[in-house]
Amino acid sequence: MTKRKRIGVFGWGLVAPKSPNIEAFEQNLERSDTWLSPFRGYGRSNFLVGYPEFDFETYHGWFEGRFPPAKFSQIKDKMGPMVQYAIGAFLQSLSQNPGMETYLQSLGTKCHVYVGTGLGEITVTHEEALKHERALRRWYEFWAAPERCTALRAHLDGNRDPAAPRDPQQFPVGSEAWIDAKHAWEEFWAARSNALEQYLAEAAAIQAEAVPAASGSGPSKLSTIRQKLHRIRALNKKWSCPDEPWASVSPNLLWNIANMPAAQISMIGKIVGPAFAPVAACASFGVAVKMAVDAINLGEATAVVVGMTDPPPHPMIISAFYGANVLSASAEVSRPMTALKGTHVAGGSCIWIVGDAAAMMEKGFRPVGLEIVGVGTSSDAHHIITPSKGGPQLAIKAAMEEVQATDVTTWDMHATATPGDATEIQHSLELLHPDVIFTARKGTFGHGMSVGGGWELTAQHLGMSKGRLYPMALTEGELHADVKVHAPKFVQHDGYEVVGTGYSGKLSMGVGGINSCVISRTWDPEYLERHVAKEAHAAADR
């Protein structure tokens, strides 16, 4: 059996509510107040959300020193918030250890990038979907007009088509029924428009022209494409028709698909190893860490950029969470373990650089967080949103394979301020020591669909690396009765000073029944001391 390598975190960065970077995040953790604010998407509402604090312009200088002037503006114009957050967090992660950027490049295919998302870039998707819907309605309306549709004229003259939908004139003009009927009516007749048939034949003739060979003496490929587009526009002008619905959606929709954060990190970091997006809902960050640890132990990677990124709170996300009965709508902060009123949507990113500790310390790099000693993943195979008992426990057992329950000092919960909090406590305590100290931070910065687990794990590492747990807005008297019955111990307003060098655990449970658990510990001082000389020597040689 291959001996497991020691895994460290050698860089990290994030974008979170009230926290444009890792330094602000750590400062904000010192206080127990919430980072949530009123949702602006409905004008006024009773929802609180976590808006990420972020300005992509902060990173303009980094690009200027490495790329042509157009590179920054291209990313700014083409990439949505989800991708930009990930880029910002990645650039932060390079800054804790000088030389990290060139080191990752030097690893060739042994540096990987696993950066995913939860719901994807819904801000761009929604915007482009609206553009397409509007263009489609204009298109149908134009070609369904009687003067462009012989079949409709025959229908109106008494030669009724039995397949035709109900005439919108049967409903009050402007009513929802009228709008729906008008759309169905125009879609039906546009498909039978003889004028549209002729238009499409003319357009096909334009598009049928072959792209010339690159070595030919005629027009170039790009010139040919531009000429075609010009002729299509001239055709539209001839017919006085609106732009085609298939020309209404920006290619930015493609540039913001789920793997694009990983791809952009690969491109701007000049990292040539595999770059892709693991997607596992709320368990995503832990799943990405598990994949990284496995790749390092198998010798396929020396370092892996892992992380998650979510768009800012959006009305569609709010509506979906509300419809699933897991969203708080009381205009007050809903804290885990208390009234169990539901969670709060948040957006942002979290990126870590994890790696083979021995290999990276030999190059002079210092770990910034805890040592990762075990990661477990599992599925409930039970229910799409209600966690099982066995699924999360399988992940916990796998992560704690070489760890005793008595060694675990602190445990960060998934805890979404829903009734599942109580069962999560119960099932966790069956595998943990009763004196373990629990934390639950979604009442602080909200619930990022994929990034929340990364924020929580980062908060745990930041605190435990200094021998403490940051405060939470919670007192024993506020605990919900269903939670209190299990007698758990929680970090409260004053935080918690940790005695000794115990292990820390973090459980995440995702929609669809996917679970991840990460076990970490403070670095052994003797191990670090043995590597300090190596580090100094390596730094001098760099």
- What tens digit of pLDDT does each residue of 312-339 get? 999 999 999 999 999 999 999 999 999 9
Query: Residue 463: what pLDDT?
Result: 96
Look at phi and psi of residue 364 and say left if phi exceeds 0, alpha if psi is from -120 to 50, else beta.
left
Query: Residue 218: what pLDDT?
Result: 58
Are 290 and 375 in contact by the 8 Å Cβ rule? The answer is: yes
Are 63 and 503 in contact by the 8 Å Cβ rule? The answer is: no
β-bridge pairing 348-356 and 7-15: antiparallel
Are 394 and 402 in contact by the 8 Å Cβ rule? The answer is: no
- Residue 403 CB coordination number (10 Å): 16
Indicate the DSSP class of residue 258.
Answer: T
- Compute CA distances 104 → 11, 75, 278, 295, whole Å: 12, 22, 20, 15
- Compute CA distances 244 → 140, 236, 340, 379, whole Å: 10, 9, 49, 45
Beta bridge partners of 447: 345
Query: Residue 219: what pLDDT?
Result: 63
Q: How far apart are CA 186 and CA 208, in angstroms?
A: 29
Query: Residue 541: what pLDDT?
Result: 52
Indicate the DSSP class of residue 214.
Answer: T
The domains of the chain are located at 7-121+257-533, 125-247
Q: How far apart are CA 347 and CA 316, in angstroms?
A: 13
Query: Residue 1: what pLDDT?
Result: 46
> What is the DSSP secondary-structure string of 132-192?
HHHHHHHHHHHHTSGGG-HHHHHHHTT---TT----GGGS-TTSHHHHHHHHHHHHHHHTT
Q: How far apart are CA 210 and CA 529, in angstroms?
A: 67
Query: Residue 532: what pLDDT?
Result: 54
Q: How far apart are CA 314 and CA 347, in angstroms?
A: 9
First-to-last CA distance in the chain?
35
- Residue 192 CB coordination number (10 Å): 19
Which amino acid is it at 276? Answer: F
Q: How far apart are CA 448 and CA 445, in angstroms?
A: 9
- In 247-341, alpha helices (H): 260-269, 284-297, 315-323
> What is the DSSP secondary-structure string of 498-513?
PPS--EEEEEEEETTT
Are 116 and 278 in contact by the 8 Å Cβ rule? The answer is: yes
- What tens digit of pLDDT does each residue of 128-169 get? 999 999 999 999 999 999 999 999 999 999 999 999 999 999
Buried residues in 237-266 as b, exposed as e (16+ CB within 10 A):
eebebbebbeebbeebbebbbbbbbbbbbb
Residue with tokens 């291209």: 74
CATH 3.40.47.10 is held by the domain 7-121+257-533: yes
pLDDT per 10-residue tile (average), the chain, 542 residues? 86 98 97 95 96 98 95 97 98 97 98 97 97 98 98 96 96 96 98 98 94 68 88 97 97 97 98 98 98 98 98 97 97 96 98 97 94 98 94 98 95 97 97 96 96 98 94 91 96 86 94 97 85 54 51
Give the total residue count for the chain.
Answer: 542
Indicate the DSSP class of residue 313.
Answer: P
Q: How far apart are CA 304 and CA 10, in angstroms?
A: 10
Which amino acid is it at 68? Answer: P
Q: Which residues contact 453 (CB under 8 A, 6 or more apart)?
A: 282, 283, 284, 285, 286, 308, 414, 506, 508, 516
Q: Is the dihedral of CA 209, 215, 218, 223 positive or negative?
A: positive
Global pTM value = 0.95
